[in-house]
Chains A and B, each alone.
Chain A
């Protein structure tokens, strides 16, 4: 693959008729709701990728948990390792911990992504550093399915300092918040374990939001936008 290959027009993905059918059946996401936070079904996602390059690196695995009726449903979860035969060993293997064998034994990315989108349905997504996951997932869906991701994403990494202003936001990694709330993670950097701990963090944040009279997904999004605008204004 040449360095400039990303400049070339992308190849259109080749899907089987059955797969095409499934793409067409994916529900279109509505905007964020004005109903209560508790009524909203959320999908909390964590991606493990081959690296942090937004344009070159690939999604290697997807872990997701569901928040429904205000609680994490341990019976509903998603985890899939994607088959990436062309993925060579690079240093981030140390981070995501997926061995080349595990990746080679993964599922067809097309099927895995279709399964994931079926799992998501029309629910909004939550992730820690959501813009990264949103971008990586969006690109994977575009490349593999020719599907445009339009689901709203809320960034837990931004909600946390907004809702917990007393916490020193200088170090704002997931590990920082895990320590701050004394959460237990059995296997950090496993996509589904990370999704679970992010979901736990989200539950705490929803509870904090309610005490601050923010009680709908839409209100939460609006408050977050204001807060980010204000922060940017301050930093100039």
Chain B
């Protein structure tokens, strides 16, 4: 070994000592904990460790295209964006140990849009751009992380949620699985002129419950299932030489192989079908049966929905309630997102409400007047969790006030019984009496319209609160037209009434998200809720209120908060980037809230929306803080828009 080699060698071992220490530090955080050791060592060897004192600028928009990738080793970095026409800068994010910046600017080869400042004594690992690019090419984990930025962190959380839930269930299967991976790859098919006998023989031989009837180009024309066969046999047909196209269900429902297992489960629930064809480029490429979905994942959603819809008596519905709770637990385990779960709960609740109404009508006889069952609030927005109050009403058509009063008298006893039956099924009676059995909420279309107009005209605090409940209305049972007309009326009046919008905006700023400018969280200081924050009121409500206001003001008909945000982006009321950030943040807070509820149920604790951030793991806590900061941003954009 020559001297210079020896020098190099000695240098290498020395490097390893401190590099090893830095690697150990990084390995506590994603994506570094998933990277190969050699890649991580490469990263660290190429790094410089820099120090920034409080208030010192790290990168700023005027520096030009970003040349370095930074990882916070210690301390805290804040992002500050200044708005045109405003003096003070807005803190848009906080970055703490283990987090990286500025990915978007670095990948976009542009300057940062936000000045990054050290909020306290801060050490950053600084990686030069050529090394970043090399690492990007070397490490898949690093590349994925860099490309997806914060979203990848959110995915990590979701995976973590799944892992945790899966542990209690001992199975690993995701509702997000592509149908293409689940389906029978060579579905049993036949041509439309195949004899019934021949088709049934094929099904029998292949041990399948369905056969897809296709044309010469493999495009599906119909489906014939065991259920159809039962009907054929029951109808007493003798001649099994007849062609199958006479007995198949034509125009079968289909999805693409890229749809998820969740999509298929929803379709089956909505349509009461047990088979979904998979079609790509107009050719049949698979069939997914209810059994394929549920034998694997044991999420018996379709079965549950069907049992609810056909429950013969109220007692059956009551006992099914517990199964919905178990279903939610299983769905979390199978990787369903909070959006999927609230969607499912809403759907099962809708089924329950419909069945209760049907049972009551069967019991008391038809009142002889058509009516629609309305729901408001979170139920109206399709954002229900398992713990839900009743917020409902009745809408009917009447010629005049006299007829309306007369119909009301006929409907009220029915409505009251429905309210009580729903309470028995676990829909808590509304403390504020926002229920159809209340004469003030069993109204004709004209009466509703007058009521809503008053809310908008006289923006008293009570009316503002009422509008935040009633304006998220939707029909659960009955004809939808009357409700449509009411909604259009609301939209027109709100769009015209700037004062009402402004009052609603002020109302939407009532609850400030619990993050401080320089502190992690601003928590309750006193009482039994000490050191906790309210995920619903302080986290979700700002998004719900903000989205409602902007939706009503811009003629967006959707009720669901995420749907409203998406349509507001399409209409360019809010920026696409902001919309995506709000959506992610809302989703995360909701997910955290549902996990808390599940945990409370499992530990037999009372249900609460309060959470102690210290009880969350580090990753969740960081993301929660960022999510709440997005709520804060939405509020300050409202304040700016309405000059509050």
Task: Give residues in A with beta carbon < 8 Å to B.
Answer: 18, 22, 63, 65, 69-80, 107, 111-112, 115, 118-119, 181-187, 190, 192-193, 196, 199-200, 203-204, 206-208, 211
A204, B49: Cβ atoms closer than 8 Å:
no
Question: Is the pair A107, B10 in contact by a Cβ cutoff of 8 Å?
Answer: yes
**In this assembly, does B25 line the interface, its C-beta being within 8 Å of a C-beta of chain A?**
yes
A72 and B74 alpha carbons, distance in the complex (Å): 15
Size of the chain B interface, CB-CB below 8 angstroms = 33
**Other-chain contact of A74, B13, B24, B48 (Cβ < 8 Å):** B48
Q: List the B residue with the shortest CB-CB distance to A185.
A: B21
Report Cα–Cα, A22/B2, bound state, in Å.
Answer: 13
Q: Is the CB of B20 within 8 A of A78?
A: no
Contacts of A203 in B (CB 8 A): 49-51, 123
Name the contact of B49 in the complex, choosing from A72, A79, A80, A207 (C-beta under 8 A): A72
B397 within 8 A of A: no
Residues of B within 8 A of A107 (CB): 6, 10
> Are the C-beta atoms of B74 and A73 separated by less than 8 Å?
no
Provide the bound-state CA to CA distance between A121 and B453, in Å.
83
Q: How far is the CA of A76 from the CA of B51 in the complex (A)?
A: 17
A184 touches B25 (CB 8 A): yes
Q: Does B19 contact A (CB under 8 A)?
A: yes
A110 to B: closest C-beta gap in Å? 11
Contact indicator B6/A111 (Cβ below 8 Å): yes
Residue from the list B21, B48, B51 in contact with A207, Cβ < 8 A = B51
Known: A73-B48, A80-B14, A204-B121. A182 touches B74 (CB 8 A): yes
Closest CB in chain B relative to A165 CB, distance in Å: 16
Q: Is the interface of A mostly helix, strand, loop or mixed?
A: mixed
B24 to A75, Cβ gap below 8 A? no
Contacts of A204 in B (CB 8 A): 51, 53, 121
Assuming the contacts A63-B14, A75-B45, asked whether A193 and B121 have C-beta atoms less than 8 A apart, the reply is no
Per-position contact with A for B113-144: 1 when CB-CB < 8 Å, else 0?
00000000101011000000000000000000
Q: Given the complex of chains A and B, what is the CA–CA distance between A208 and B47 in angstroms?
A: 23
Residues on A with C-beta less than 8 A from B48 are 69, 71-74
Query: B465 at the A/B interface (Cβ < 8 Å)?
Result: no
Distance between Cα atoms of A100 and B230 in the complex (Å) = 87
B 19-30 binary contact with A (CB < 8 Å = 1; else 0): 111101100000
Task: Specify which of A69, A118, A192, A206 is in contact with B14 (CB 8 Å cutoff).
Answer: A192
Q: Let me know if A74 and B49 touch, CB within 8 A.
A: yes
Also in contact, A74 and B17, with CB within 8 A (given A183-B74, A203-B50, A204-B51): no
Pairwise interchain contact A74-B22, C-beta atoms closer than 8 A: yes
Q: Given A71-B50, A184-B74, A207-B52, 14 other A-B contacts at CB below 8 A?
A: A63-B17, A65-B18, A71-B48, A71-B49, A73-B48, A75-B45, A75-B46, A77-B11, A79-B13, A115-B6, A118-B7, A192-B18, A196-B21, A204-B53
Task: Tell me if B18 and A193 are in contact (CB < 8 A).
Answer: yes
Residue contact A74 to B11, C-beta cutoff 8 Å: no
Contact for A187 among B21, B46, B52, CB less than 8 A: B21
Question: Could you tell me the distance in whole angstroms from the C-beta of B458 to the nearest C-beta in chain A?
Answer: 57
Task: Identify which of B10, B53, B123 contacts A78 (C-beta below 8 A).
Answer: B10
User: With contacts A74-B45, A78-B14 known, is A186 near B50, CB below 8 A?
Assistant: no
Q: Is B454 part of the contact surface with A, judged by Cβ < 8 Å? A: no
A-B contact pairs, 23 of them (CB 8 A): A22-B3, A63-B14, A70-B50, A71-B48, A74-B22, A75-B15, A78-B11, A111-B3, A111-B6, A115-B6, A118-B7, A184-B25, A184-B74, A187-B17, A192-B18, A193-B17, A193-B21, A196-B18, A203-B50, A203-B123, A204-B121, A207-B51, A211-B53
Chain A nearest CB, measured from B239 CB (Å):
84
Contact present for A207 and B15 (CB under 8 Å)? no
Kindly identify, within residues 76 to 131 of chain B, every residue whose CB is under 8 Å from any CB belonging to chain A: 121, 123, 125-126
Q: How far is the CA of A182 from the CA of B76 in the complex (A)?
A: 13
Contact A79 B22 (CB under 8 A): no
What is the predominant secondary structure among interface residues of chain B facing chain A?
Answer: helix
Chain A residues with CB under 8 Å of B45's CB are 74-75
CB within 8 Å of A: which B44-82 residues: 44-53, 56, 73-74
Q: Write out the residue numbers on chain A whose beta carbons fall within 8 Å of the beta carbon of B7.
A: 115, 118-119
Give the docked Cα–Cα distance between A65 and B6 (Å). Answer: 18
Tell me, rounded to whole Å, the shortest Cβ–Cβ distance linking B556 to chain A.
49
Contact (Cβ within 8 A) B52 A77: no
Please give me the residue from chain B that is nearest to A208 by CB atom: B53
CB pair A190–B17 under 8 Å, yes or no, is: yes
Residues of A contacting B47 with CB < 8 Å?
74-75
**Bound form: Cα–Cα A206–B52 in Å:** 10
Report Cα–Cα, A196/B17, bound state, in Å. 10
B13: A residues at CB distance < 8 A: 79
Closest to B10 in A: A80
Give the distance in Å from the alpha carbon of A76 to the alpha carbon of B48 in the complex: 10
Q: Give chain A residues whose Cβ lies under 8 Å from the Cβ of B19.
A: 74
Cβ contacts under 8 Å, B44 to chain A: 74
Smallest beta-carbon distance B124→chain A, Å = 9
**Can you name the residue of chain A whose Cβ is closest to the Cβ of B7?**
A115
CB of B158 to closest CB in A, whole Å: 30
Q: Which residues of A contact B126 (CB under 8 A)?
A: 71
Cβ–Cβ < 8 Å partners of A118 in chain B: 7
Complex interface: chain B residues within 8 A of A206 (CB): 51
B-side contacts of A74, CB under 8 Å: 15, 18-19, 22, 44-49, 125
Cα A156 to Cα B24 in complex, Å, equals 27
Contacts of B22 in A (CB 8 A): 74
A210→B25 CA distance, assembly (Å): 29
Which of B14, B74, B123, B126 has the most C-beta atoms of chain A within 10 angstroms of its own C-beta? B14
B579-637 contacts to A (CB < 8 Å):
none
Inter-chain contacts of B17 with A (CB < 8 A): 63, 77, 79, 187, 190, 192-193
State in angstroms the CA–CA spacing of A185 and B74 once bound together.
12
Q: Is B121 in contact with A181, judged by CB distance below 8 angstroms?
A: yes
User: Is B123 touching A77 in the complex (CB atoms < 8 A)?
Assistant: no
Kindly state the separation between the CA atoms of A13 and B611 in the bound complex, as whole angstroms.
71
Using Cβ atoms and an 8 Å threshold, which residues of chain B touch A119? Answer: 7, 11
Which residues of chain B are near A65, meaning CB under 8 Å? 18
Neighbouring B residues of A196 by C-beta, 8 Å: 18, 21
User: Which of chain A's residues have a CB closer than 8 A to the CB of B18?
Assistant: 65, 74, 77, 192-193, 196
Q: Which residues of A lie under 8 Å from residue B3 when comparing CB positions?
A: 18, 22, 111
